[in-house]
Structure 1
């Protein structure tokens, strides 16, 4: 790929193993923090109740949000397996630098924020609109994407987007699976086999972007 004054040169290549490790750490830290908060919300009122010998409603009130936070954390734990899905894609495809990604819009879901993005490739037109979710469970859109991103995968099937620096990793699938069907059908056997190996050959709906295998 050639670069000119308007096109950012690719940054230093990323260490894939370090990218995956960083996202596993981020995911673990997120769940650990939530579990700690829920434990404190339950433990502190119980301890104070035993020490003071009172069962005041105000005193035990924090237990309710603590239990809800614990249930929500356990519920979300299943969807943290998306990091494993990304790791599989990164083992199957090399990272390639794309000079620009455009975030069109975003939507809140209980599984995580779903972003609609377009990953552009210099010299090619008609890049499909993609759905993207942060693999480590973060809901915010990261900084730095305006200078380009790393992508591993095959856009009509899906893939993984990594922001330069390697700390933000997103799982991507086509926003309109049916609209990109022709591109997948026209893919040669090697491309289809690779997508199957990375488990990118199944439809993904917006509301279940965080589900394993979706």
Structure 2
């Protein structure tokens, strides 16, 4: 059974903090990855230079494959990151716009950085002559295209959350049962008791981990047969979600009544999108 949103400054019984601080293990876990990627890029670059050799030109194929893999992994490292650190908004269900604006900011900053670096990688070889800088030109072109390809689903997921939160207020739901954690921010969970439908959820940042203490409950905005958004207390993650078995709730949506159906339509929940 849902609980009403708490008043300003209250938490409705759920823990509230300004976000999960990064631990030393988290920092060490992420610091080694750029080092390995830089080493992989250097090795691939050297192998690519073999294309100028009459004997070992075939080694350049390995360098090309290595460079492509390094660039794709670097893009994922830059754009798909775990949500963490203090957040500049209330996580107690009283602020619907703050989480959306913050998620947009967190998504746009690394994308712009990737695009700036990619533009430099393309511009410099073209300006001074390609020659030995050809691999940098290739890396830049791949980054421009694939970086945008990786980023667009993230910003679309954030946009879906924003659309829902323009229509629905938050209500606290507990407990949250975690059932599956997939790639690219996709996971399955259940809001409340055994009768609640299993929901397919997507976190815009495509984090590869569950929010800390999400099992204690979360703020839900939406209508279960259609879907909605949850805001995790304390850590502040947003997730857009819809029923995992969409067809099983067809009858519930038909019987919801015109007002609920119209609200779901305005929130972008009238069709299966997740």
TM-fit CA distance, 1:201: 0.9
Alignment of 1:201 with 2:270, yes or no, is: yes
Structure-1 separation of matches of 2:231 and 2:93: 11
Alignment of 1:29 with 2:109, yes or no, is: yes
Structure-2 separation of matches of 1:191 and 1:200: 11
Structure-2 separation of matches of 1:148 and 1:118: 10
Q: Which residue of 2 aligns with 1:178?
A: 247
TM-fit CA distance, 1:153: 0.3
Structure-2 separation of matches of 1:146 and 1:62: 46
Q: Is the 8 Å Cα contact of residues 97 and 165 (structure 2) preserved in structure 1?
A: no
Q: Is the 8 Å Cα contact of residues 101 and 117 (structure 1) preserved in structure 2?
A: yes
Higher helix share: 2
Alignment of 1:60 with 2:64, yes or no, is: no
Pairs aligned (count): 187
Structure 2: runs of 5 or more not aligned: 5-11, 17-91
Q: Which residue of 2 aligns with 1:5?
A: none
Helix, strand or coil at the partner of 2:169: coil
CA RMSD of aligned residues (A): 2.6
Structure 1: runs of 5 or more not aligned: 3-7, 210-214
| Higher mean C-alpha displacement, 35-44 vs 180-189 | 35-44
Alignment of 1:9 with 2:13, yes or no, is: yes
Structure-1 separation of matches of 2:227 and 2:161: 11
TM-score normalised per structure 1: 0.75
Helix, strand or coil at the partner of 2:165: helix
Alignment of 1:98 with 2:173, yes or no, is: yes
Alpha carbons of 1:125 and 1:191: their partners in 2 closer, same or farther (altered >3 Å)?
farther
Q: Is the 8 Å Cα contact of residues 89 and 160 (structure 1) preserved in structure 2?
A: yes
Q: Which residue of 1 aligns with 2:65?
A: none
TM-fit CA distance, 1:189: 2.5
TM-score normalised per structure 2: 0.60
Helix, strand or coil at the partner of 1:178: helix
Helix, strand or coil at the partner of 1:33: helix
Alignment of 1:69 with 2:149, yes or no, is: no
Alignment of 1:42 with 2:122, yes or no, is: yes
Alignment of 1:113 with 2:185, yes or no, is: yes
Q: Deviations 1:46-80 (Å, cap 9, x if unpaired)?
A: 56xx3xx7812xx4223323321210222345431
TM-fit CA distance, 1:165: 3.9
TM-fit CA distance, 1:202: 0.5
